[in-house]
Chains A and B, each alone.
Chain A
């Protein structure tokens, strides 16, 4: 070892030591520090964003012309199945859990998560099921190819009859992902309820913590249904049971109930934290308090409750009786109310602010713009007669990509840029960030806006080939998709070079209000350690001149001196 500045004990420490050499090794170990785990999650997830994006670009290459000429239709089916699965289970869930790990303890002033070992176990399940899922590309017959819904009977047809087949590995991977998510959810909910700083009552918690809490509660309530359904599906596939097989009197539609009982709320699990990110960032970059803090906080749980009673809107044309369709149409439309409360609150927060258009703010504004659009197409899809026409067409594909990429991924990028200085101790390059935003916004718009019209005209989703009248929309979409691929270059450049040699970050580069900004950048292993500040005011006190914590000057000075 050539460095002499550091004591050997420091180098072996199981937590980050700012500036210490060799401490990258901790990212490859069973480390129990939430901040290490957070970065492990985020980096793993971003790697799989590239994998999922690559699958998507092959798909868009196939779809740039009407016939199935680039890959065999069976390969296309495998690609779209794996694209969805990778993006949900290996990009979105892990990256949001990564943000939770970084943000929840620091925002509530806790030293770490409630169950650090469980936390590390939850993360290390991710590479395990990633290997299982990626391995399915190499088994005879190829990976699962019945979509991320995996609806029986097509998902349990098992054409080659092998015991180890793509579908079997897919179910195993999804079940392991569920276990990991449950581990995470128990941890996040417990940490939020039990480990807040003194004085931080529920109505003094940052909105990100509220939304993470609401989202993780949904995980705990919904996941058992999916896991149960997945186990029954595995038994039907591998052991000859007939839960969903019509030959033995089973009902394929039953699986759809198990699946959507969780998988619709899953969308809210992903979007709620992004609502949290918007609620954190708009006040910082508009220099104003969050408008209607309490309404925004409570609306999160309004969404949680409604999310559990809307799943049948995925089954408006499966033979669901009329009264049931009407009930679920109304519950689905009701979600527009709490989400509307949030959207209007964000816009009111911006109103007459003093906006700074840094990269995080650009991603937030772009994300909000797209989310308003997606909310409107969402109400259309909730309307039974419209859904009967556009359901299972590219209209749905466009709608949910407007949510899942154009809103959720935008929010995630905003969060990565915004908290990058805090957790790496380095500033990112603003110019590269802006190029990343411009390419992402234009690419995403070209990709998914035109496809709405393909769907309205009746182009079904999941097709490897299509009638020539849909070609124009698909050509524009493919150009947009390739542009999104290009957008990853400035992002990767920025992240890697900034982390390696970006300018050193001060504790609070954005002049933001929040406990995490009272910590040094990057924060020490146990955050505030024994000296946890006492919260005396609501968050987002921009322009109010009220301190967030007792003795705020002391904490600011301490962070600067560290």
Chain B
């Protein structure tokens, strides 16, 4: 090292621990923990309404990881900010820094600690998976045959199985007593079983308010169960890219009381079938009217014939 300049007085070697450094570090860590806890609390407001029994688990896990993440992020970037503010070399200062090449104890610590933290998060998440148990059996079938033949009913569900049929680009829900709907009506507080079916391409059954998503795979039927816990109207979005009008392939989930749910089923049984929601159709027709410009697409599948075509203009909560 080059000789010490007079600007930097030699700090006398102190016997015992450096109390000042310990105090500064403790205050910094304290502020970091305080801010991280605040951010972790705040993170609940970044997520939609909790409308299924899975949502509180997901949000708690997210809040925990946001807290740990904020602690690490603020800690690391805090040090970076400190260094940038106070450890800059002046213009003509060509000296080197203190040549510290490493510190085995420190390096082992920052290998082991993250290992423990990720294992803890991992085990916590495995427990949540074990509790939710949304995914049932997945069974292959020959396209053109009845997809649902031989798929066992979910013994833990009291409602269903409701067949969720996804197409390019529409949704159709078929209830056990034969009612067909473009919107998904569910009774609150009861575990519902679905059979997820696609005959064309991959789709994904995604309801943000439920915090749940399951891909739908052509050639396979998937048994899927969940419990809505809050009444309301929520968005159901196709979350796996499914071609030209993928972004329009959305509908609503209506979670209602058991009474209005059975009332709805009874009314719909008497309704005749009419064409249901077909969100890609209008844009496709407009495109054809303009001379079929744009890049190639398959035409939309015919609109499903349903008892309840739903109301695409109704406002959704999440």
Contact = CB atoms under 8 A, between A and B. Distances in A.
B89 interface: yes
A322 B129 contact: yes
Interface magnitude class on chain B: 35 or more
Contacts of A72: 287, 293-295
Contacts of B240: 151, 392
B157 interface: no
B101 interface: yes
Interface stretch (B15-23, B55-63, B187-195, B260-268): B55-63
Interface stretch (A18-26, A171-179, A344-352, A479-487): A344-352
Given A252-B217, A386-B65, A388-B211, A351 B83 contact: yes
Given A153-B218, A252-B218, A456-B47, A392 B296 contact: no
Interface stretch (B27-35, B135-143, B178-186): B135-143
A146 interface: yes
A333 interface: yes
A147 B241 contact: yes
A357 B88 contact: yes
Contacts of B297: 74, 159
A457 interface: yes
Nearest to B210: A389
A54 interface: no
B99 A380 contact: no
Contacts of B220: 246, 251, 319
Main secondary structure on chain B at its contact with chain A?
mixed
A184 B118 CA distance: 35
Interface in A274-324: 286-289, 291-295, 317-319, 321-322
A559 B117 CA distance: 50
B176 interface: no
Interface in B208-252: 208-209, 211-215, 217-220, 222, 235, 237-248, 250
Nearest to A373: B73
A386 B202 contact: no
Closest 7 CB pairs of A and B: A458-B208, A142-B295, A246-B219, A543-B96, A141-B296, A376-B69, A72-B294
27 contacts: A145-B295, A157-B243, A288-B98, A291-B101, A317-B213, A319-B217, A329-B122, A329-B125, A337-B114, A341-B107, A341-B110, A344-B107, A345-B107, A350-B79, A351-B83, A352-B83, A352-B87, A353-B83, A355-B88, A365-B80, A383-B65, A384-B129, A386-B65, A391-B213, A460-B206, A463-B247, A543-B1
Given A246-B217, A365-B84, 8 more contacts: A249-B219, A317-B214, A322-B129, A329-B125, A354-B97, A372-B73, A379-B121, A460-B206
Interface of A: 68, 71-75, 77-78, 140-143, 145-147, 151, 153-154, 157, 159-160, 165-166, 246-247, 249-253, 286-289, 291-295, 317-319, 321-322, 325-326, 329-330, 333-334, 336-337, 340-341, 343-345, 347-348, 350-357, 365, 368-369, 372-373, 376-377, 379-380, 383-386, 388-389, 391-393, 453, 456-458, 460-467, 511, 541-544
